Amino acid sequence: MSVEIFDKVKKVLEDIESAVPKSQEEVEQFRIKYVGSKNVIKPLFGEIRHIPNELKKEFGQLVNTVKQSAETKFKTLKETIEAESENTEARQIDLTAPGEPVALGSRHPISTTMNRIIDIFTRIGFVVAEDREIEDDWHNFTAMNTPEDHPARDMQDTFYLMNSAEMLLRTHTSSVQARVMTSQKPPIRIIAPGRVYRNETVSARSHCQFHQVEGLYIDENVSFADMKQTLLYFAQEMYGPDTKIRLRPSYFPFTEPSAEMDVYWGLKDETDYRITKGTGWLEVLGCGMVDPAVLSNCGIDPDRYTGFAFGMGIERQAMLLYRISDIRLLFENDVRFLNQFKSTL
Ligand code: DAH
């Protein structure tokens, strides 16, 4: 009798081990049969009454094994079936559903403006020259005809590095002029875009960091007229074919003669009055014929070569082009501001 019961329990164990329920329903049937509240294993524990004492322990252990094996198997089956149903859900893609939009980035207005300026000059043979932002005093000032004690150093409040008198954050991209002239031979025709720094109080109109584009053209017989024609071309490409320019005498240590270029902006509304200070003219850049002292500082023979140079602030151009009223917006990277430039190239 007890042998039969043993066999019966072993048979249940075999059934459990060989069961291969595949669907969710089959797993549920397995659960009801072996793990549920009315499972077939429970009554087996009652059979212990009919087992001789010396076999009771062995029988008890066997039924326990069956119970555990059923529970373990059910747990595994349940996990597998759940994972599978997740997979099938993922595979059930509705091809007719509207797509999720991919958020597109946009170029920063400074980059757009910079690229536009670079494009205009590269079309007439200028090549881009880039150089370091941490510069030494010589390239930023001395080579550019602004030796120590020169009053023009006060025009640009400088960030020096760690109390160094020698290393600084460049105050203008004119330092690239010195870098190029000391490493290349004329003819030189470069455009140097980049970031510059000045120790200035941040306000709506000025910032301690901003961008400039520098231009330099050196060859034999380069004249002031060449410069004027080049800058007129630039202004008309930048602001429209009817743009008028004027050159006002000015002073820069590195150019002689020096000038500032204005473009005619107009006086149509109140904003025009405000940004042109009531004149209709807008200052756009500084320029001039490269001072012979700058040429010889950089190892270029001033008796043979002449050249012109110019420099302009990008933020100012971007603010004009996009009618941005506060320079700080250009550095805060607020996406609500930047999103407005999505359609620009
Ligand atoms: N470096 C000048 C500045 O930072 C701009 C400038 C003026 C550059 C005249 C030039 C130049 O090359 O010829 O304001």
The domain ranges of the chain are: 2-89, 114-341
Ligand 1 site, CB within 6 A: 172, 174, 214, 252, 254-255, 286-288, 309-311
In this structure, are strands 188-197 and 127-128 parallel, antiparallel, or unpaired? parallel
Tell me if residue 276 falls in helix, strand or coil. Answer: coil
pLDDT of res. 152: 67
C-alpha 224/C-alpha 45 separation (Å) is: 110
pLDDT of res. 90: 67
Q: Looking at ligand 1, which residue's alpha carbon is closest to its atom 12?
A: 310
pLDDT of res. 276: 84
The ligand 1 atom at the shortest distance from the C-alpha of residue 156 is 4
pTM of the entire predicted model: 0.71
Please, what is the angle between helix 109-122 and helix 314-322, to 10°? Answer: 110
Q: Which residues pair with 134 in a beta bridge?
A: 169
- Residue 134 Cα, ligand 1 centroid: separation in angstroms? 18
pLDDT of res. 92: 74
- Residue 161 Cα, ligand 1 centroid: separation in angstroms? 23
Token digits for 110? 């400074």
- Cβ pair 59, 7 in contact under 8 A: no
The ligand 1 atom at the shortest distance from the C-alpha of residue 214 is 12
Token digits for 64? 């326990």
Q: What is the CATH number of domain 114-341?
A: 3.30.930.10
pLDDT of res. 142: 94
pLDDT of res. 324: 85
C-alpha 45/C-alpha 51 separation (Å) is: 11
Token digits for 276? 């042109």
Radius of gyration of the chain (CA): 41
> C-alpha angle 68/70/72, rounded to 5°?
65
> C-alpha angle 62/67/73, rounded to 5°?
120
pLDDT means per 10 residues, the chain with 345 residues, are: 85 93 90 94 90 92 94 92 76 81 85 94 98 96 89 77 87 97 97 95 88 98 98 95 96 96 90 85 95 97 98 90 86 89 64
